[in-house]
Structure 1
Amino acid sequence: MSRIIRRLTVAAATAATAVLFTAVPAAAHVEVESDDAQALAENAELAFTAESESATAGIAQIRVVLPKGIAPSDVTYGKGPEGWKFTATDDGYTVKGAALKVGADAEYSVVVRQLPDVKELAFKTLQTYGDGKVDRWIELDESGDDGHGHGEGNPAPVLKLKAAAPGAAPVGPSPSASASASATPTAEASGTSPTPQAADTEKDEDDGGLSAGVWVAIAVVLVVAVAVVVVRRRGGARQ
């Protein structure tokens, strides 16, 4: 009888342990997906889901560091939790607002002007709760992948891209083209005709640096001087 009881006890413990392990939810993380996940795709909408792993506070802020090839100025806000606001930073952006309900995931989207010509994009993410706790989803594996499937670490969300469509090209002028365009007005300015003031100065220099009015004044002074000399000579002769 005692053997039967012991066997039943062991069986019950084993079953309970199995139930506990199967009931444990998968580790929380941040995911990104897009129907426009293709290199050089324009106005691509990216949807993010930041899963909550706190039992005491709700998510209040998501901060993202953008991957190389996407500038903060190329990203605009799509939609997100009610009342949350989007703010660009030096290296990415933040989306934040009133803390969500405890256990609620934060879902939002952004629109990227154009995705770079790469195979995948990693969006390092800092997830902050209302109580100040921070989940850092910033780790990459050695190949630059997100590390999903390894069952450990805090992997950054990664978006894999299809190859660019035939004929697709980067939008906007290249830096070299912009530099050439900015240099053109300078070259034209250097070749413009002189201003009216400059032309007058050059004309004065051609006349020996004296204008016609000055020459007239000199002539008048000379005439007066000659007249004075003549008058004095006549007066001396009469004496």
Structure 2
Amino acid sequence: MSLSPVALAGRRIALAGAAALTATLALAAPASAHAEVEADTPQALAENVTLRFVSEAESGTAGFTELRIVLPEGIAPGDVTLGEAPEGWRLTATGDGYRLAGPALKAGVDAEHSIKVRQLPDAKEIAFKTVETYSDGEVSRWIELPTAGAESEQPAPVLKLKAAAAGAEPESASPSPAESTPPTPTAAGSESADDGGDPTAAQEDQNGSTGVTVAVVLAAAAVLVAGTWWLLRRRNSSPSQG
């Protein structure tokens, strides 16, 4: 059964539209996975806020093993405590955020976790750059910040905040991990650590050790001189005894 020219044209248009739609979906598929963040109180300067993160799985053969989150300005690593996380995963504070890692999740399983933040900053929106690592070593970086008029291919999770409540004030910042953790004494500095970090006490110990060393050297020199004198005297007196 032959089709009329109009029917043939309509069929071709339909096939072309289906092909274009298939191509569009295929191109959009890799970008369908993404990282997201939401809050129970999305408001500037809100306190004791729970943030929930979801990293959607991209791999069909490997599972998540680690998430690396960079905190936005105004939230210190010391302001964060872990809420819920995959079983066996642990949170470790870093200089600019935190690392959450543990046993590999099953392939295709999203990584979800929550944290409690002491206080949100006074801002309209905050971004949490996220780096995801899979069990096969694949790394996915959702770190691109929003720009006006441009859509990012791998955008960082962004949380939009309502204006701060009337009378809300920012609290003092928590110390960073480097500030809150005392330095580990080295072998060279163990004396000052034992003396409670008092450099004067350490110097006195060093001077005392130096004095003992000098006394030992002088005593050894005296013994050497006395021995030499005795040998010379014996040698000089030997002919007279013959």
1:15, CA displacement in angstroms?
A: 6.2
Unaligned runs of at least 5 residues, structure 2: 176-242
- In the other structure, the counterpart of 1:231 is none
Q: 1:169 is matched by which residue type in structure 2? A: E
Q: Aligned pair 1:88/2:90, yes or no?
A: no
In structure 2, what is the Cα distance between the partners aligned to 1:7 and 1:28?
37
In structure 2, what is the Cα distance between the partners aligned to 1:174 and 1:97?
26
In structure 1, what is the Cα distance between the partners aligned to 2:128 and 2:51?
11
SS at match of 2:19: helix
Q: What TM-score, normalized to structure 2?
A: 0.62
In structure 2, what is the Cα distance between the partners aligned to 1:74 and 1:174?
6
Q: Aligned pair 1:17/2:19, yes or no?
A: yes
In structure 1, what is the Cα distance between the partners aligned to 2:11 and 2:71?
55
Taking the TM superposition and a 5 Å limit, the aligned residue runs for 1:107-126 are 107-126=112-131
- In the other structure, the counterpart of 1:205 is none
SS at match of 2:162: coil
SS at match of 1:116: coil
**Which structure's CA Rg is the greater one?**
1
- In the other structure, the counterpart of 1:163 is 163
Q: What TM-score, normalized to structure 1?
A: 0.62
**Structure 1 pair 142/19, CA: closer, same or farther in 2 (3 Å)?**
closer
Taking the TM superposition and a 5 Å limit, the aligned residue runs for 1:20-169 are 20=22, 21=24, 25=29, 27-142=32-147, 150=151, 152-169=152-169
SS at match of 2:126: strand
Residue-by-residue CA offset, 1:9-48 (whole Å, 9 max, x unaligned): 7467446526634586462111000121111111100000
1:171, CA displacement in angstroms?
A: 2.5
Residue-by-residue CA offset, 1:28-86 (whole Å, 9 max, x unaligned): 11100012111111110000010111122111111001111111000000101111111
C-alpha RMSD of the superposition:
2.8
Residue-by-residue CA offset, 1:76-126 (whole Å, 9 max, x unaligned): 001011111111111100111111111111111000011111111110110
In structure 2, what is the Cα distance between the partners aligned to 1:174 and 1:60?
29
Q: Bigger CA drift: 83-92 or 4-13?
A: 4-13
In structure 2, what is the Cα distance between the partners aligned to 1:93 and 1:87?
6
In structure 2, what is the Cα distance between the partners aligned to 1:102 and 1:111?
28
| Identity among equivalent pairs (%) | 56
Q: 1:171 is matched by which residue type in structure 2? A: E
Q: 1:166 is matched by which residue type in structure 2? A: A
In structure 1, what is the Cα distance between the partners aligned to 2:174 and 2:4?
82
In structure 1, what is the Cα distance between the partners aligned to 2:16 and 2:55?
34
Q: 1:163 is matched by which residue type in structure 2? A: A
In structure 2, what is the Cα distance between the partners aligned to 1:173 and 1:14?
59
**Structure 1 pair 78/54, CA: closer, same or farther in 2 (3 Å)?**
same
